[in-house]
Amino acid sequence: MARTIRLAFALTVLLALTVGTVAQTVAGGRKVLDSTMTGLPTGSLVLNGLTGGGVPWSIEDGHVQLFADGRLHVDVEGLVITATGVNPVTTGRAVLTCNNAPVAETAIVPFSGTGDATIDTVIDLPSQCLAPAVFFTNATDRWFAVTGF
In a domain, 62, yes or no: yes
In a domain, 7, yes or no: no
Q: Please give the Cα distance from 124 to 116 (Å, whole number).
A: 25
In a domain, 5, yes or no: no
Q: Residues 115, 59: contact at Cβ < 8 Å?
A: yes
In a domain, 20, yes or no: no
Mean pLDDT for the chain overall: 89
| Per-residue pLDDT at 34 exceeds 80 | yes
In a domain, 19, yes or no: no
Higher pLDDT, residue 54 or 12: 54
Query: Residue 29: its pLDDT value, please?
Result: 87
Q: Please give the Cα distance from 114 to 91 (Å, whole number).
A: 12
103 Cβ contact partners less than 8 Å away, ≥ 6 residues apart: 96, 97, 125, 126, 129
pTM: 0.82
Query: Residue 52: its pLDDT value, please?
Result: 98
Q: How many domains does the chain have?
A: 1
Domain range for 49 is 29-147
pLDDT digits (tens, 9 = 90+) for 116-132: 999 999 999 999 999 99
The CATH number of whichever domain residue 59 belongs to comes to 2.60.40
Q: Please give the Cα distance from 32 to 127 (Å, whole number).
A: 13
Query: Residue 15: its pLDDT value, please?
Result: 47
In a domain, 23, yes or no: no
In a domain, 15, yes or no: no
| Per-residue pLDDT at 9 exceeds 60 | no
Q: Residues 87, 81: contact at Cβ < 8 Å?
A: yes
Query: Residue 27: its pLDDT value, please?
Result: 58
In a domain, 6, yes or no: no
Q: pLDDT over 90 for what percent of the chain?
A: 81
pLDDT digits (tens, 9 = 90+) for 59-103: 999 999 999 999 999 999 999 999 999 999 999 999 999 999 999
Query: Residue 93: its pLDDT value, please?
Result: 98
Query: Residue 28: its pLDDT value, please?
Result: 59
Beta-bridge partner residues of 105: 95
